[in-house]
Structure 1
Amino acid sequence: MVPTTESPAPEFDDQAFIPASDSLQELLTASSLCDGSGTKTVTEPLLLWLDRYGGPIVQASIDAGFADDISHSLCKLLVALGDHSAMYFAKNIAAPAQVKPIASPVPLPSPLPALSHLVQNFLKLLLQYTALPGYYGVDEEESEMTLGFWYLFQEALWNVDYAFDAGEDGEAGNEAEERDRDMMPVAKAVYSELVTIVRRKVVWPPRTVLNGWNREQRDKFQAYYVLRDDMLAFYVTDLLQRLSARQEQDGWEVRVPFPLRYHLSIVPQEIEGTLHCVMAVQEAVPIEDSPHLRQVFGPEILGRLPKAGDERVRRTALHLIGKLSNNCCSYASWFTTQPAQVPESATPSPLMSAITFVVAALPHPALCLFAANALRDLCDANRTALAPHIAAFGELHAGLTGIPDTEKAKVLQSIASVIQALPPVEEIPPVEAIASPVVAKLFEALQSASQLPDEARAMAVQQLETLTGVARGLTRVTDSLLALDDSPEVQAAIGDMNRAREDERVLKLREAILSAIRGTVELWSTDASVCDALSDLFKAITALPSDVTLISLPPGPLLELVCLAAQRQLTAVWLSLATMLAIQLNPPALIVTTFKPEPSPEAAEIALNVLQVLLQTSLSAFAQPGVMISNPDIVQAFFGCVESFIHHFLPIFYRLPAGLFDGLVQCAIGALSLQERYSLTSASTFLSSLITRTATNDDLAAAKASLAQTHGFQIMRAILFGFAGVAPRSAMPNLIELLSTMITRYPLESKQWISEILFADDFYPCRATPEAKNKFIKTVFGTRSLKRTREAAQQFTLVARGLEGSAFGYATVSM
């Protein structure tokens, strides 16, 4: 029975607390109550206990300046309870009703406390842990533990519905309305306190303190993610106040003691901390039209940040302008919503203010990386708005002498993004100006390779990466959806680009780029770092007709280089590039039609020559013992490559030398017994595509018959052996798909093949009886349903492997 008068509280047992806390955490997170149920039996009794004992424990930690083992365990218990009961707390944050738990761990006071008091006390305890003095990762670790709850609680506040408490009782309905009305002021007060705390906790210490931290501590001290668009106004106001206070200070290098409490400070670290908070909320802030962001990127805030010195403040501002390190959404795209710069305006637009701030940081060694990243993101997102300022970007290019090559590549990509917004003919001079020096340096690396091989190779990689950045910048990434647009405007734009590509200067530039790439492949195609750089460049510098740029290279010469590199060292990189370039050889039409257009005779001849080289190279490598087993990435890339050729150039397979084509099919049949799933499935997909496309092409009727006569029996044998136990269970869906293809395209032959194979003396040893084999044949050929075929094949697989009736067999039947 619950007592109705207050009794003396029992003594706190510190030895029993931690085991009890651990058990309660387990109950709240990993039991049948973990879904938020049990509020009367768990939540409310714990709230009563926390009301009696929680405050003194937390206060002791605040007084001591750290959390001991008991306090740390209490924090974990609070977090577990918060995750468990977030909706309950949101519902009762302003509830006047008294708590009435089924049981209580402490004697209850009289009168009983209101639910709102207990909930608000719980929130107060969590806020105190969030606000623990000191630096996270150095002095304490509890504050970070609480942050997840504040997200969860906020979601609960948005989603809670008090109306369900009213029922048919009008008085209860009125109470629900009052609670709904009273909830928001309390919630806003809690979150106002929270963001004040978080802003203070993210501030980096002065250098005198920071110099004493080891690298692990520096890495662990990260800015906290904070909450939603309502918080942005708080941080902007804070920045304005602190920047106004700084007007009385001289310079940005003033260092004063770092405050641990709440009073307003004007040291640079405090401003940097608030900037970090603004950066952290960008995911949730609606950016269509925000007066707060106009203040951030205007003269009031960005215009008053330092243009020299104090790397931390400037670095955070650069992060704020561009992307975060985890590539989440950024404010860089916000500038696209703002009006363009008015030429006669004395006040720069937010975009130009940001560009000016970023460019000023490029020469600074400690800031160059961050400035280059921010500039790249700004230019990529705001190409059209920046195009009228192309002359200024030309000046920027001329002044890049002091910037490291690694960052110069990003700056050139930024400039190329702006160039792309110009009419094609106007692109020619600036493209030539930024690309020609890069190509010249690549030739320089090739010429010095014999004297300084390591330095030359590193220089070549850097120039390839720079050229990749330029190619990416020139690509119309935002216009990719127009690839199938046949409107007059799009057609006119394509025509303008094609005419500009025929300019003598552009022709010479592309010829030089291709020559430099050829020299690189001939010299370093077996080097992993060069291969990766070439792969990225090939992907960036080739394009479908609708996306072609001034420096886009045709696929034919690049395929020739891919073949050369593959002959020297067969890798998945070269095979994947061949797959991509095969599509470029036979690109989709601008207007979607029922029938895919046939490739040109020139493209078909190139594809045939490339296919022969790749087949000879790959099949020779795969013929070596163990190569296909130990190189599943190459096997998968190889069959993916030849399947791509099937989709675009099917007839050329039947123009291959007979031995080469037969070797390809036999290689695929052999791969159906590989234990590595991706190798097997890629071979199975290749065979399905080859059979289906050959059988459905009226011009290849003779080839269809020859394929069945020469290889049909062996393909079916490999499928059935795979069912019986040769292939891994995870590949069964692919083998079933191949079986269905064979039965559909060669029904009479398949029935004969299956019977001969299943009842042959050399069939793979398995548990399938003659009755099971006959049942499989009868079911498969008694229906034309793919579903029934799949079910029959799955059942036969279970029987053959002795898994029929087992829980494991049926649980994994669809793997």
Structure 2
Amino acid sequence: MSEAGRWRGVLAAAVEAIAAGAAAAGKSSGSAGRVIVDLVAQFPDEVQRTARGQAQRGAAVQEARDAAAAAVAMLAGVVGAGDGAVADYAAAVGQDAAWRVRAWRGILQWLHFGLAGDAAFERLLGGSLRALERLAARADSDSDEVAAAAAAVEDMVGNTRVAAQYARTVGGLALERLGAGWLGAAVQRCAAARDDEGAMAWASVAVAFGETYTELLLARLGSAPAQQIVQVMLAITAFPGTHGFDEGASDQPLNFWYLLQEAATDAGADAVAAVRPVFAQVVRAVVAKSAYPAAWARGGRDERERFGAFRREAADALLNAYYVLRDDMVDALAADAAHALAQATPDAWRDAEALLFALRSIGEAAGAGGCAALARLLSRDAIERLLQPVVAAGAGAWGLATLQSAVVALLGAYAEWWRAQDDALPAAVACVAAALALPATAAPAAAALRRICDACGEQLRGAAPALVRVACDALAAAVAPREQQRIVEAVAEVAAPALCVAPLAAAAVARLHASIAALEAAAPGAPAAVAASLRVVEALARGLQGDEDADADALRLAARVADSVAEPREALAALMARAVDVRVWPRDAGSGVADVDDAVAEALLGVVGATARRVPHALALDGVAFVAHAWDAAVARGSALGPRWADQSAPFLACATQLVPVAPDADALAALVARVVADVCAGLAASHASLPAAIEQQPVVCEAVFGLAERALAVRPAALPPCAAQRLACLAEHALAVPTRLALRPPAHFLAALARHAAAAAADPASAMPALWLQHGAACLRATLAAIGATHPRSLLPALAELLLAMLRHHPAPVRLWLLDLLAAPAFPSPHADADAKRLFAQQLLATRSLARVKAVVADFALKCRNMQGVDYAS
């Protein structure tokens, strides 16, 4: 008998046999029913899991499809969702809530499998909604049964395929039933009992319907059922308690509000007007839910993280509401915030903070729109009267610090708005500057200052000297290093065009001088201080970066800025050279050997990278000379520490990569590249038993050195001397044998770039790259074929296919000869690939230049090499 014949009717036959057997043995119908329910509920999953082979699985799936309608109808009879006669065993089992739960879960399994026939789906949906309504009518309904029933109905009303085809029929049925009032009553009952788990079950149904049938709900928004469903959403959004602390339901409808706003906006002005009252209620609910709980200080980490996640989603919901309500929302929030700030006390600040949070959440959109209602809170008078006193209160309890943070975050969120507020901008900047001095608010204040400086640079030119003083004070104060960097970068961008950045540059360099002196004196904590000082200088350099496409006027201004900081620039170069000197590196307490401090080295190189520009930089250094000097020092120390220097070489290589397109001295750059490539290759060989082992254990270093070469070949080929390319080609051959993604992709990209450049340089008799490619191409192709054949995971085949295509595309003639010669070898690349398979592979590969086709050919050949063709898990 065929597989199809063997499976035909197997589920129905099994159910009949169980019922008949129970009856013959005198067993109760309930006993038979429990076995049948378990069998039918698990059939979709089990039949696919246990079937073996393609034919058996196909027959089993077809049997499940044929039996789906009858199976679901039987399970629906158990839970009271059927619309026809119910078998005795189903009725008996349906008396037990635990078995009704199993039946609901079985229905869900069949829904996931796929219920054939839209009429069957509609009957099931109608019966399930009636059953769910009966559960909602009873206050003592089993919570597990409610959850199981809600999960099944959620899946039905959230079925996007059905919604796309039958929105008016199935969607209309669900709208009428869900909007009959019972769902809202169930949610209200849960709210009164603070039962958030029960509310989440009921809410899941409403949310699934709302997210799937948003357009239908919007079109019928004036109807009573639609209004009922919207009110359910609002009730869940405003569910009592604090999300993450004592409830977890209120975040469920937040995505629905986004979908409703999008649908209304797409539908036009009339639809937007229709949803305005709804979103006014959404704003009130979300603002109230965003207030910090009184129990925050006692809350655990998980509770705080959940509340923080809710606030992030709430911010999006408030922004969605703004797109509907526009200036009316700003006006109401600003008025309420002004009143709340006027009434705020150390014990009553949460409402004010929540309103400021709401205004901040819409700042990017509302600020750009130039809403006049913002003057209620962000005029010069309002800032001085309401906001500055909050910040001026100084460091205090946690609640005060949170309100202060909200104030400065609000000012930063409206950075675009300040452009047209010449009168209020100085007051806003003064308020933010005052917050920089407070430890608890320094971080948001630094972020706010950065945003305001970015948006209002031209308007702040006149205040640049005062901003420089603020930044200098921040460098001298106990402000966290990260915030210092933000402040310095922001102020430098404003102060440079005003030609008043010199005091800030001098302060940054003076701080670096002091930290290096402490390092020379072996003071405790000196390395961290040096790294922090260098990061400040790096931030200063970023702030002074000009436009890469600067015009003549901008270049003249850049030259004047450079002249103004000539003295700090010269001092900086000398200090960085001192930082590389042998005597200033900290010593390992155990060995007494000088070691290169990672953070200091990376910070030094960060300064070089920030000043490496095509256009002149005010703090420009001889980056190539510095990196060469630092590299020499690192290698000298590394020789005493074994492989230690290799661990630290990646930042040097990354910095050299940045210098490739901008270094003015091409010969010095090429010498640096040759030196670092030679040292890396030698270091990898010396520090491990074999090169493949070194490549596998040092993936970051290998990625950096191949990335340096690839960048050079792409933008400045002369920066990669032939000797360096030769070493890297040899290293790449070994890297192709390492079966990991981190080890394979960088050399593959380098070899592809080398093949491309060698082809482009074929007509240049002075170029050594074409000959170098011919020297190493065959070995690289062999390693690639071996990897395809068996040695590498199939997940790496796309990367190998890309390399093969690069070889074929740029060097078709030699690659063809190499390919045919390599495939002619017995048992290569796999003993499972016979001559016919290899011939077909070569023919298909040589006949195409399509990446998709090459990937498909490589994948098929790899299956043949692994003897996996026709195996299910190979598909």
Question: Please, what TM-score do these two structures have when normalized by structure 1?
Answer: 0.77
Amino acid at match of 2:246: D
Aligned to 2:445: 371
Aligned to 2:508: 435
User: Are the counterparts in 2 of residues 579 and 645 from structure 1 also a CA contact under 8 Å?
Assistant: no
User: Are the counterparts in 1 of residues 334 and 373 from structure 2 also a CA contact under 8 Å?
Assistant: no
2:157 is the alignment partner of 1:75: no
Deviates more, 1:792-801 or 1:311-320: 792-801
Give the direction of change, closer, same or farther, for the CA distance of 1:19–1:520 in structure 2 (3 Å limit): farther
- How big is each residue's C-alpha offset from its partner over 1:600-626, in whole Å with a ceiling of 9 and x where there is no partner? 334433443344334433443466462
Cα distance in 1 for partners of 2:574, 2:238 equals 63
Give the direction of change, closer, same or farther, for the CA distance of 1:532–1:315 in structure 2 (3 Å limit): same
SS at match of 2:458: helix
Please point out which of 650, 669, 672 is paired with 2:733.
669
Q: What is the 5 A alignment of 1:1-400?
A: 12-13=137-138, 14-15=141-142, 16-29=145-158, 32-33=161-162, 37-38=166-167, 40-41=169-170, 44-45=173-174, 47-64=176-193, 66-67=194-195, 69-94=197-222, 116-160=223-267, 184-205=272-293, 209-222=295-308, 223=311, 224-225=314-315, 226=318, 227-229=321-323, 230=325, 233-241=328-336, 243-244=338-339, 252-253=344-345, 255=347, 267-285=348-366, 287-299=368-380, 301-303=382-384, 304-305=386-387, 306-309=390-393, 310-322=400-412, 330-335=413-418, 337-338=419-420, 341=422, 349-397=423-471, 399-400=473-474
SS at match of 2:224: helix
Cα distance in 1 for partners of 2:826, 2:628 equals 48
User: Are the counterparts in 2 of residues 318 and 358 from structure 1 also a CA contact under 8 Å?
Assistant: yes
- How big is each residue's C-alpha offset from its partner over 1:415-463, in whole Å with a ceiling of 9 and x where there is no partner? 323222224xx5434422x2222212321331243x53xx223323322
SS at match of 2:241: coil
Aligned to 2:491: 415
Cα distance in 2 for partners of 1:81, 1:204 equals 31
Give the direction of change, closer, same or farther, for the CA distance of 1:438–1:46 in structure 2 (3 Å limit): same
Shift of 1:396: 2.5
- How big is each residue's C-alpha offset from its partner over 1:374-409, in whole Å with a ceiling of 9 and x where there is no partner? 223322433332222132134324544443343444
Give the direction of change, closer, same or farther, for the CA distance of 1:516–1:338 in structure 2 (3 Å limit): farther
User: Are the counterparts in 2 of residues 465 and 537 from structure 1 also a CA contact under 8 Å?
Assistant: yes
Cα distance in 1 for partners of 2:853, 2:302 equals 59
Cα distance in 1 for partners of 2:490, 2:781 equals 55
Shift of 1:276: 0.7
Aligned to 2:864: 799
Q: What is the 5 A alignment of 1:508-657?
A: 508-516=571-579, 522-523=585-586, 526-534=596-604, 536-540=606-610, 542-546=611-615, 548-550=617-619, 554-562=623-631, 564-565=633-634, 568=638, 569-570=644-645, 574-575=649-650, 577-587=652-662, 600-621=666-687, 624=690, 626-647=693-714, 650=717, 656=723
Cα distance in 2 for partners of 1:499, 1:246 equals 48
Q: Which runs of 5+ in 1 are unaligned?
A: 95-115, 162-179, 256-266, 323-329, 342-348, 590-598
User: Are the counterparts in 1 of residues 520 and 583 from structure 2 also a CA contact under 8 Å?
Assistant: no
User: Are the counterparts in 1 of residues 649 and 701 from structure 2 also a CA contact under 8 Å?
Assistant: no
Cα distance in 2 for partners of 1:653, 1:72 equals 62
- How big is each residue's C-alpha offset from its partner over 1:722-747, in whole Å with a ceiling of 9 and x where there is no partner? 33223333333443444444455555
Give the direction of change, closer, same or farther, for the CA distance of 1:805–1:701 in structure 2 (3 Å limit): farther
Shift of 1:332: 2.5
Structure with the higher fraction of residues in helix conformation: 2
Cα distance in 2 for partners of 1:783, 1:139 equals 62
- How big is each residue's C-alpha offset from its partner over 1:13-71, in whole Å with a ceiling of 9 and x where there is no partner? 4235333212111223357436584553365346435524234323333444x126543
Shift of 1:72: 3.4
Give the direction of change, closer, same or farther, for the CA distance of 1:663–1:533 in structure 2 (3 Å limit): closer
Deviates more, 1:608-617 or 1:522-531: 522-531
Aligned to 1:764: 829
- How big is each residue's C-alpha offset from its partner over 1:257-292, in whole Å with a ceiling of 9 and x where there is no partner? xxxxxxxxxx53222211111112235436143323
Cα distance in 2 for partners of 1:751, 1:293 equals 71
Cα distance in 2 for partners of 1:85, 1:130 equals 19
2:811 is the alignment partner of 1:721: no
User: Greater RCO between the two (CA within 8 Å, min separation 6)?
Assistant: 1
SS at match of 2:370: coil
Shift of 1:536: 4.0
Amino acid at match of 1:312: T
Cα distance in 2 for partners of 1:244, 1:778 equals 79
Give the direction of change, closer, same or farther, for the CA distance of 1:237–1:782 in structure 2 (3 Å limit): closer
Give the direction of change, closer, same or farther, for the CA distance of 1:54–1:764 in structure 2 (3 Å limit): closer
Question: Please, what TM-score do these two structures have when normalized by structure 2?
Answer: 0.72
Cα distance in 1 for partners of 2:157, 2:616 equals 55
Give the direction of change, closer, same or farther, for the CA distance of 1:297–1:536 in structure 2 (3 Å limit): farther
- How big is each residue's C-alpha offset from its partner over 1:106-151, in whole Å with a ceiling of 9 and x where there is no partner? xxxxxxxxxx011111111221222233323333222222222111
2:569 is the alignment partner of 1:506: yes
User: Are the counterparts in 2 of residues 58 and 71 from structure 1 also a CA contact under 8 Å?
Assistant: yes
User: Are the counterparts in 2 of residues 361 and 367 from structure 1 also a CA contact under 8 Å?
Assistant: yes
User: Are the counterparts in 2 of residues 75 and 126 from structure 1 also a CA contact under 8 Å?
Assistant: yes
Cα RMSD for the two superposed structures:
3.7
Q: How many residues align?
A: 707
SS at match of 1:285: helix
Shift of 1:557: 1.1
Give the direction of change, closer, same or farther, for the CA distance of 1:445–1:553 in structure 2 (3 Å limit): farther
Cα distance in 1 for partners of 2:688, 2:322 equals 56
Give the direction of change, closer, same or farther, for the CA distance of 1:758–1:421 in structure 2 (3 Å limit): same
Shift of 1:765: 2.6
Cα distance in 1 for partners of 2:484, 2:854 equals 59
User: Are the counterparts in 1 of residues 745 and 799 from structure 2 also a CA contact under 8 Å?
Assistant: yes
Cα distance in 2 for partners of 1:788, 1:75 equals 48
Cα distance in 2 for partners of 1:286, 1:78 equals 34
Cα distance in 1 for partners of 2:840, 2:226 equals 67
Amino acid at match of 1:632: P
SS at match of 1:548: coil
Deviates more, 1:275-284 or 1:747-756: 747-756
Cα distance in 1 for partners of 2:571, 2:199 equals 72
User: Are the counterparts in 2 of residues 373 and 410 from structure 1 also a CA contact under 8 Å?
Assistant: yes
SS at match of 2:737: coil
User: Are the counterparts in 1 of residues 598 and 648 from structure 2 also a CA contact under 8 Å?
Assistant: no
Amino acid at match of 1:672: L
Cα distance in 2 for partners of 1:511, 1:18 equals 71
Cα distance in 2 for partners of 1:751, 1:371 equals 64
2:839 is the alignment partner of 1:774: yes
Cα distance in 2 for partners of 1:410, 1:654 equals 39
Shift of 1:193: 1.8
Aligned to 2:111: none
Shift of 1:676: 0.8
Give the direction of change, closer, same or farther, for the CA distance of 1:731–1:157 in structure 2 (3 Å limit): same
